[in-house]
A and B are shown apart, each in its own frame.
Chain A
Amino acid sequence: MRQIWETPGGIHPEQNKHQSTGEQIGTIAMPPEIILPMGQHIGAPATPIVEVGQTVLKGECVAKPEGFFSAAIHASTSGTISAIEERTITHPSGMRALCVIIKPDGKDTWAPLNPCDDYTQLSKDEILERIRNAGIVGMGGAGFPTAIKANPKSNRKITTLILNGTECEPYITADDMLMRERADEILLGAQLFCHLLTDVNEILIGIEDNKPEAIAAMQAAANALNDERIHVVSFPTKYPSGGEKQLIQILTGKEIPSGGLPAQLGIVVQNIGTAVACHRAIVHGEPLISRVTTVVGQTLEKQRNINVLMGTPIGFVLQEHGFVSDYKQRIIVGGPMMGFAADNQNVPIIKTTNCILAPSTKELPLPAPAQPCIRCGMCEQACPASLLPQQLYWFSRSEDVEKLEEHNLFDCIECGACSYVCPSNIPLVQYYRASKGTIKLQREEKAKSDHARLRFEQRQERIVKAEAEKEAKREARKQAALEAKKLMAEKAAQPANGETENTTNAVDKTASKVVDPVTQKAKLTRALTSAQSRLERANAQLQTNIDEDNGSRKDALQSKIKQAELKVNDAQNKLDAFNKEHDISSSEPGTPQAKNSSAPSNDKGKDATSPALKKMAMSDAEKQAAAVASIEKRLGVATQKYKEAQEANTPTADALKLGVEKLEQKLSDAKAVLAQQANDVSANTTQPVSKNEADAALGAIERAQAKAKAKAAMTDDEKKQDQIASLKKRIDKAKTRLNKAKDENDDNIAAFENAYNKLQDKLTQIS
């Protein structure tokens, strides 16, 4: 005998297993309608691949899996697709969801199958693919796609395969009967799993000791197979030993870490029915289209297990078993401990339906009214997860989320043992479900608001940065103006040289301050076209959304369109006004100021400007050197002029002399600064042109100013190139952002796309 381990808690409810084990697994007549919900498993619902009116054969795929966590759905008999529509599905919430409805033709004709006598000839991927295509999911619990479970991450070595034949819930005997009747198929299925999992060195078949026939049958089959990895392990009956976590604890003494998976312990647990289904899928090529279900309860004439087609309405099953409705009738899908009440008789049997319980009111009395919790602690003694149900109950009532999490609410497996023993009849599990729901919702909301806050902060940062830049630019302009004034004054001292200098200043000023009408007009036109294109896009989007009948999105888009229209109008108005104001004559280049100046030619002005401005872009030391050089040059020119004037004896000679002296003074000053800079490495804060700017804080301004000037100094072409380059850079950035958003499925995709398109538009406009 293998060692087994004790588990905490647990209860011993009335077994009620004998009613349904008296007969062999039976079958029932063909139902008038087959209802196949698209979501019978954990994960995304399948997508129908058939059309209404199409005929299908038994075993033909009617819906393909949607993504990794999904499973295919097959026609469980031959017939015609009569509808693809929303129906109430077999789900605790009683929600409606998409179903494929088949009207059976009564012939039950099989589609061609793809059997395989020796699966070891197939590659593992091929086997997994076949399991996946057969639509097999865990048939005992939540419907986890089996292909995924049979293919754990490569870094997890699975050494133990557990087949769960516990069936600890009262009333249910589907696995029990399967083990009695098809033990060989179960073990072949287990061997198939081992083949897929490679490293398995023990197959544990856990069965509660209240199923002696099943244990004997499995043992006999194991002996026949002569596979020494197989161990049939029986252990005392106790609810909920069949929970995955509890079964692992009983058989191995290990516990799955909270929030973890059995695979972390090198264990995979499979259901008995799933093993049979996998075996049949590979060896016989049969997809999962029927299952063994227990039909039991005192309102039925006949209680037994049946092999029933998926999609058979529960009402039909009941009717076939002589169902007479009781007062306040409940129909429970699953067992009395964890099953849920079906909404009506039209919900179908699905892949996870292991039992239909139609109890009389006497058999399972309705819950008595809850009394106050007397803290008797019986729930605590019953809890298999070693939680404190009474505490969880109090915290649930006071909605103390923190305490609930502290007491590990999420480790509750909702087995119902606590509710079962509670002498005050408190529906404890109901409280836990509600609290879990609330907490999950809160977590989602928190994640959302965190995201929003982050975005807000980033935006604030951007705004602050933009403000700082603007400020720097403003300062730069101010400095430029000051400098211009100074230069003007200097020019007054050198009238002969004044012309170009003056132009430089004028261009300087106007370049940074006044936008010429042509650019302005171009800008306005651009604004107009971009607004128009935005409007078009919004319209197009609206159209697609109308087609998709997406209500809330439509409203949002409509308001967007209105905004876009307003913008278009606005832009149009502005452009009109501008055109009127400037007539068409505004195509003439240059600004009034530039016109006033004696050098109207823009090109000339710019040529003259560039050396002066280039200097601003240079490093401080270079700048200083350049300044010295320029002053020397100017000094040379001035001296030359002064000499000429002296020779010609013009009245300006004195003034010129003053200028020469001044320049000499300046030169020596500049030279001194240069020398000092050579010594002083941190001298880049020292400003060459005016010494009172030697303040470090102004360094940034100086640099911004230099940049602005450098820009102003560029030719149109250069400017354009520059702009294009920067735009391209921005487009790249926008693109990566957009892609990232797409990857993360961010809800700002639209905004990013918009920004990206806008940038693209701009680029085409410029180049």
Chain B
Amino acid sequence: MQFLKVTSPHTSKQGQAGNVMLSVIYATIPGIIALTYFFGVGVLINLILASLFGLGFEALILYMRQRDITFYLKDYSALVTAFLLGLALPAYTPWWLIAVGMFFSIVIAKQLYGGLGFNPFNPAMIGYVVLLISFPLEMSSWITPAPLNGGELPSLSAALGKVFLGHELIMEGALLDGYTSATPLELMRQNDGQLVNQLYSDNPLFSQALFAGVGWEWVNIAFLAGGIYLMYKRVFTWHAPISMLAALGILAAVFYDGGSSSSLGSPLFHWLTGATMFGAFFIITDPVSSAVSNRGRIVFGALIGVLIFVIRSFSNYPDGVAFAVLLLNFAAPFIDYYTKPRTYGHKSKSKSKG
């Protein structure tokens, strides 16, 4: 009798690449809930549109590359990219903006580089940065969080009108001048002359918040929860996110300046505003474009933390996560080179020959 010939190992842990990706999607749920609570249905519209465009582009490219569409779609990587970009964009973003973003994410940043695993840059962040540079206005229009608006959120029809037809968002009993308002990060950066305490008490965005800005603080806490879930599931290790948060926190502490008028915000403020937690647990942990070893990821995360702080505090962009991540994606091979782990039986990390 002839037996089947296969090589070892003959067993493997049950689990597939798709499962990893699905866990990432599940882990975004708390964040989605928080965002929707504070900013309304536009968040969900973003996600749905991004997913449709993402899967559509992915399928199209797979078809053009003559690959098995269902087999590759089942790795859910396109869906994850769509979710990440959808969550990064301001709610009620026009549909075509999302389409352009997804096109750059999936087609340019991922498939043109050879598909999953070959992309040197985080696809979602490429899409985001392209949009941010091309359409800065649309990209920084966050609506006022619901609690500051008397609990009012745009209705579904208003939202659809805004997204598809470009109508102005009209909210019943709109009280504020316009529907958008500055984010906590913008307030902090534009602040001159006021002590941090004064700023906090003068501005409802801060005065009605617990830690760091109405709405945003909860969004960040929600993403943190999702991240902890993923770490627990061992989808990624703690190295990159924790070192990023640590670097950001240390820099914030150094420049806090006792809360003076030139203060750049406390560590807690930086941790719980903008895209900090989202970035730390969902963006920089993208394994494809990050550094490979544990030590490498520590360096990778820390440098991103530093860059985020610098961009947030000293540039005109609303947040620094996307730029910081892309810059470090670029540097990842160098980090890998200098942080190779010490192999068993070797004295120190092996140097390349010559």
A residues near B (Cβ < 8 Å) are: 8, 11, 13-14, 92, 94, 170, 245, 249, 255-260, 315, 325, 328-332, 334, 336-345, 357, 359, 364, 366-369, 371-378, 380-381, 384-388, 390-391, 402, 405-408, 411, 414, 416, 419-425, 427, 429-430, 433
Q: Inside 8 A of A374's CB, which chain B residues have their CB?
A: 17, 20-21, 75, 77, 116-117, 287-288
Complex Cα distance A648/B148, Å? 153
Q: Inside 8 A of B353's CB, which chain A residues have their CB?
A: 402, 405-406
Give chain B interface residues in 50-84, CB to chain A under 8 Å: 71-72, 75, 77
**Given A336-B8, A420-B13, A424-B17, are A315 and B343 neighbors across the interface (CB < 8 Å)?**
no
Nearest chain A CB to B337 CB, angstrom units = 9
Nearest chain A CB to B235 CB, angstrom units = 7
Q: List 27 A-B contacts (CB under 8 A).
A: A245-B345, A255-B345, A330-B3, A339-B10, A341-B10, A342-B3, A343-B5, A368-B16, A369-B71, A374-B75, A374-B116, A374-B288, A377-B237, A386-B342, A386-B344, A408-B343, A408-B346, A411-B344, A416-B9, A420-B11, A421-B12, A422-B12, A423-B17, A423-B19, A427-B7, A429-B9, A430-B7
* B15 in the interface (beta carbon within 8 A): yes
Check A372 against B115 for contact (C-beta < 8 Å): yes
Nearest chain A CB to B354 CB, angstrom units = 10
Complex Cα distance A256/B18, Å? 39
Complex Cα distance A373/B289, Å? 12
Nearest chain B CB to A335 CB, angstrom units = 8
Q: Inside 8 A of A328's CB, which chain B residues have their CB?
A: 4
Check B75 against A371 for contact (C-beta < 8 Å): yes
**Given A386-B343, A402-B353, are A429 and B7 neighbors across the interface (CB < 8 Å)?**
yes
Given contacts A376-B287, A377-B237, A407-B340, 4 further A-B contacts (CB under 8 A): A337-B11, A366-B4, A377-B236, A386-B344
Nearest chain B CB to A142 CB, angstrom units = 14
**Given A343-B2, A385-B343, are A330 and B10 neighbors across the interface (CB < 8 Å)?**
yes
Complex Cα distance A343/B10, Å? 15
Number of interface residues of B (CB under 8 A): 50
Nearest chain A CB to B329 CB, angstrom units = 12
- Name the one of A341, A364, A405 contacting B11, with C-beta atoms under 8 angstroms: A364
Check A341 against B345 for contact (C-beta < 8 Å): no
- Name the one of A364, A377, A406, A411 contacting B352, with C-beta atoms under 8 angstroms: A406
Q: Inside 8 A of A414's CB, which chain B residues have their CB?
A: 8
Complex Cα distance A34/B77, Å? 55
* B1 in the interface (beta carbon within 8 A): yes
Check B117 against A388 for contact (C-beta < 8 Å): no
* B292 in the interface (beta carbon within 8 A): yes
Check A339 against B3 for contact (C-beta < 8 Å): no
Check B287 against A377 for contact (C-beta < 8 Å): yes
Pick the 4 closest A-B CB pairs, nearest first: A416-B9, A258-B345, A375-B287, A385-B344
Give chain B interface residues in 278-319, CB to chain A under 8 Å: 287-288, 290, 292-294
- With both beta carbons as reference points, the residue of chain A lying nearest to B16 in the complex is identified as A423
Check A375 against B13 for contact (C-beta < 8 Å): no
Q: Inside 8 A of B292's CB, which chain A residues have their CB?
A: 375, 377, 380, 388, 390-391
Complex Cα distance A336/B13, Å? 12
Check A258 against B343 for contact (C-beta < 8 Å): yes
- With both beta carbons as reference points, the residue of chain A lying nearest to B336 in the complex is identified as A391
Question: A374, A402, A419 — which one has the most chain B CB atoms within 10 A of its CB?
Answer: A374
Complex Cα distance A425/B234, Å? 17
* B161 in the interface (beta carbon within 8 A): no
B residues near A (Cβ < 8 Å) are: 1-13, 15-21, 71-72, 75, 77, 115-118, 234-237, 287-288, 290, 292-294, 336, 340-347, 350, 352-353
Q: Inside 8 A of B17's CB, which chain A residues have their CB?
A: 371-372, 374, 376, 423-424
Check B16 against A366 for contact (C-beta < 8 Å): no
Check B10 against A375 for contact (C-beta < 8 Å): no
Check B350 against A408 for contact (C-beta < 8 Å): yes
Q: Inside 8 A of B2's CB, which chain A residues have their CB?
A: 343-344
Q: Inside 8 A of B347's CB, which chain A residues have their CB?
A: 257
Complex Cα distance A372/B116, Å? 6
Complex Cα distance A300/B96, Å? 62
Complex Cα distance A377/B350, Å? 20
Check A315 against B344 for contact (C-beta < 8 Å): no
Q: Inside 8 A of B21's CB, which chain A residues have their CB?
A: 374
Complex Cα distance A341/B344, Å? 29
Check B5 against A341 for contact (C-beta < 8 Å): yes
- With both beta carbons as reference points, the residue of chain B lying nearest to A337 in the complex is identified as B9
Check A330 against B6 for contact (C-beta < 8 Å): yes
- Name the one of B1, B19, B293, B352 contacting A388, with C-beta atoms under 8 angstroms: B293
Q: Inside 8 A of B72's CB, which chain A residues have their CB?
A: 371
Complex Cα distance A170/B10, Å? 11
Question: B13, B15, B71, B293 — which one has the most chain A CB atoms within 10 A of its CB?
Answer: B13
Check B4 against A341 for contact (C-beta < 8 Å): yes
**Given A337-B9, A377-B236, A380-B293, are A325 and B287 neighbors across the interface (CB < 8 Å)?**
no
Check A341 against B3 for contact (C-beta < 8 Å): yes
Nearest chain B CB to A394 CB, angstrom units = 9
Nearest chain A CB to B61 CB, angstrom units = 14
Check B12 against A367 for contact (C-beta < 8 Å): yes
Nearest chain A CB to B119 CB, angstrom units = 10
Check B8 against A339 for contact (C-beta < 8 Å): yes
**Given A390-B292, A408-B343, are A13 and B11 neighbors across the interface (CB < 8 Å)?**
yes
- Name the one of B6, B77, B346 contacting A367, with C-beta atoms under 8 angstroms: B6
Q: Inside 8 A of B290's CB, which chain A residues have their CB?
A: 375
Q: Inside 8 A of B336's CB, which chain A residues have their CB?
A: 391
Q: Inside 8 A of A408's CB, which chain B residues have their CB?
A: 343, 346, 350
Check B5 against A433 for contact (C-beta < 8 Å): no
- With both beta carbons as reference points, the residue of chain A lying nearest to B286 in the complex is identified as A375
Q: Inside 8 A of B235's CB, which chain A residues have their CB?
A: 376
Check B7 against A386 for contact (C-beta < 8 Å): no
Check A411 against B343 for contact (C-beta < 8 Å): yes
Complex Cα distance A267/B333, Å? 39
**Given A374-B20, A375-B287, A377-B236, are A329 and B9 neighbors across the interface (CB < 8 Å)?**
no
Q: Inside 8 A of A258's CB, which chain B residues have their CB?
A: 343-346
Nearest chain A CB to B125 CB, angstrom units = 16
Complex Cα distance A334/B10, Å? 11
Q: Inside 8 A of B237's CB, which chain A residues have their CB?
A: 377, 381
Complex Cα distance A380/B236, Å? 11
**Given A249-B344, A339-B10, A388-B340, are A378 and B234 neighbors across the interface (CB < 8 Å)?**
yes
Check B345 against A260 for contact (C-beta < 8 Å): yes
Check A315 against B236 for contact (C-beta < 8 Å): no
Q: Inside 8 A of B118's CB, which chain A residues have their CB?
A: 372
- Name the one of A8, A315, A364, A424 contacting B1, with C-beta atoms under 8 angstroms: A315
Q: Inside 8 A of B19's CB, which chain A residues have their CB?
A: 423
- With both beta carbons as reference points, the residue of chain B lying nearest to A258 in the complex is identified as B345
Complex Cα distance A378/B23, Å? 15
Nearest chain B CB to A17 CB, angstrom units = 14
Complex Cα distance A656/B18, Å? 118
Q: Inside 8 A of A373's CB, which chain B residues have their CB?
A: 117
Nearest chain B CB to A679 CB, angstrom units = 57
- Name the one of B1, B20, B340, B344 contacting A384, with C-beta atoms under 8 angstroms: B344
Check A366 against B6 for contact (C-beta < 8 Å): yes
Complex Cα distance A219/B86, Å? 62
Question: B9, B11, B235, B341 — which one has the most chain A CB atoms within 10 A of its CB?
Answer: B9
Check A421 against B13 for contact (C-beta < 8 Å): yes
Nearest chain A CB to B23 CB, angstrom units = 10
Q: Inside 8 A of A380's CB, which chain B residues have their CB?
A: 292-294
Nearest chain A CB to B295 CB, angstrom units = 11
Check A11 against B342 for contact (C-beta < 8 Å): no
- Name the one of B9, B115, B236, B343 contacting A336, with C-beta atoms under 8 angstroms: B9
- With both beta carbons as reference points, the residue of chain B lying nearest to A16 in the complex is identified as B11
- With both beta carbons as reference points, the residue of chain A lying nearest to B6 in the complex is identified as A341
Check B7 against A325 for contact (C-beta < 8 Å): no
- With both beta carbons as reference points, the residue of chain B lying nearest to A382 in the complex is identified as B13
Complex Cα distance A405/B351, Å? 11
- With both beta carbons as reference points, the residue of chain A lying nearest to B239 in the complex is identified as A377
Q: Inside 8 A of A386's CB, which chain B residues have their CB?
A: 341-344
Check A406 against B287 for contact (C-beta < 8 Å): no
